């Protein structure tokens, strides 16, 4: 078993990332914080106890802290920190505050001049992204979509024109409906559905939105959806023969055939040869 040293922590709010599935995906630093802090504020005490037990971390004071927690509980944690105690904030999986509760606590800690220290770790976003096989130079993490269809459609429309790879979290029960909505908004983009990241049944489904429209609703586990960037629009202008004839009539005495074909190439973003042959035919 990994030995975790006893250390004295300074009175800070530690934002500790926990495994997203595989309990081995946790840093030594995170385990050290969890072992030595005075209080752990966790989304579900049962889930956190399981993690602590697997690393033989005992006798920790745990309190539940989630999106439905009262303001009084936030004040209690802040007062604990003000008394010189160290507090670790954890969620059931991954990094707190990312599609999770906790931001109110962090904001109040900062307002009270309490140091906030992030302890990084496993992430479903980056894990699914690097395993997707989709090319990207930037990506946008959106998180969970609204449950109501109209709200979901409105939100998806906001991201329609963004030139970036898009990453969503979604419930396995709603995956089919969401894919159909995405197809109606984005058209047929490349799509990767990643489920159960880092767990035994980790699976990547690679294809496009059209293929996945009829995906089964019986997928299980945590779902991440990755959409490719929109295809680059064809920047070539439609070629109107009448327009070209007008340009030729205005310039035929001022420009050579070669120079005119180069000019048309710049305007319409097509090869010079294409226009050169057109000009030769028009001269004949």
Q: Are residues 210 and 166 in the same domain?
A: yes
| Domain final position from 87, 119, 151 | 119
Q: How confident is the prediction for the chain on average, in pLDDT?
A: 88
Q: In terms of domains, do 182 and 138 share one?
A: yes
Hey, which residues does 169 pair with through a beta bridge?
A: 144, 224
Q: What is the pLDDT of residue 284?
A: 52
Last residue of one domain, picked from the residues 60, 86, 119? 119
- Pair 31, 3: CB distance under 8 Å: no
Length of the chain: 284
| Dist. CA 97–CA 1, nearest whole Å | 30
One domain for residues 24 and 112: yes
Range of the domain at 74: 13-119
Residue 82 sits in the same domain as residue 162: no
Write the pLDDT tens digit of every residue in 257-273.
Answer: 777 778 777 777 677 77
With respect to residue 235, please indicate whether it lies within any of the assigned structural domains. Answer: no
Do 41 and 113 have their domain in common?
A: yes
Asked which of 119, 153, 179 is the last residue of a domain, the reply is 119
- Do 212 and 133 fall within a single domain? yes
pLDDT range class, residue 235, cuts 50, 70, 90: very low
Q: What is the pLDDT of residue 136?
A: 87
Residues 94 and 22 in one domain: yes
CB 39 within 8 A of CB 135: no
User: From CA 274, how far away is CA 241, in angstroms rounded?
Assistant: 13
Does pLDDT of 153 surpass 80? yes
Enter the DSSP assignment of 207.
Answer: E
Mean pLDDT is highest, among 59-63, 156-160, 213-217, 276-280, for: 156-160
111 and 42 inside one domain: yes
Q: Kindly report the pTM of this predicted structure.
A: 0.75
Residues 57-116 have pLDDT tens digits of 986 799 999 877 888 999 999 999 999 999 999 999 998 887 666 888 999 999 999 999
């Amino acid at each position: 078993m990994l030995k975790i040293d006893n250390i004295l922590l300074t009175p800070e709010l530690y934002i500790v990332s926990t495994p997203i599935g595989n309990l081995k995906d946790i840093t030594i630093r995170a385990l050290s914080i969890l072992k030595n802090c005075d209080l752990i504020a966790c989304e579900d005490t049962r889930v956190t106890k399981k993690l602590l037990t697997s690393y033989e971390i005992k006798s920790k004071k745990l309190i539940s802290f989630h999106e439905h927690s009262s303001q009084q509980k936030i004040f209690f944690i802040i007062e604990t920190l003000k008394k010189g105690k160290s507090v670790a904030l954890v969620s059931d999986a991954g990094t707190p505050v990312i599609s999770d509760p906790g931001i109110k606590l962090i904001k109040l800690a900062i307002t009270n001049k309490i140091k906030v220290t992030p302890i990084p770790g496993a992430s479903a976003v980056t894990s699914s992204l690097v395993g997707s096989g989709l090319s990207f130079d930037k990506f946008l993490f959106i998180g969970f979509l609204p449950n109501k269809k109209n709200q979901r459609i409105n939100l998806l429309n906001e991201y329609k024109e963004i030139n970036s790879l898009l990453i969503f979290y979604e419930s396995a029960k709603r995956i089919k409906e969401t894919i159909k909505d995405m197809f109606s908004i984005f058209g047929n983009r490349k799509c990767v559905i990643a489920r159960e990241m880092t767990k035994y049944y980790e699976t990547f489904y690679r294809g496009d939105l059209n293929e996945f429209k009829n995906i089964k609703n019986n997928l299980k586990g945590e779902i991440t959806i990755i959409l490719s960037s929109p295809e680059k629009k064809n920047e070539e202008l439609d070629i109107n023969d009448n327009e070209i004839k007008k340009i030729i009539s205005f310039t035929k005495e001022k420009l050579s055939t070669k120079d005119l074909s180069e000019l048309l190439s710049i305007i319409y973003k097509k090869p010079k040869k294409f226009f050169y042959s057109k000009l030769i035919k028009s001269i004949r």
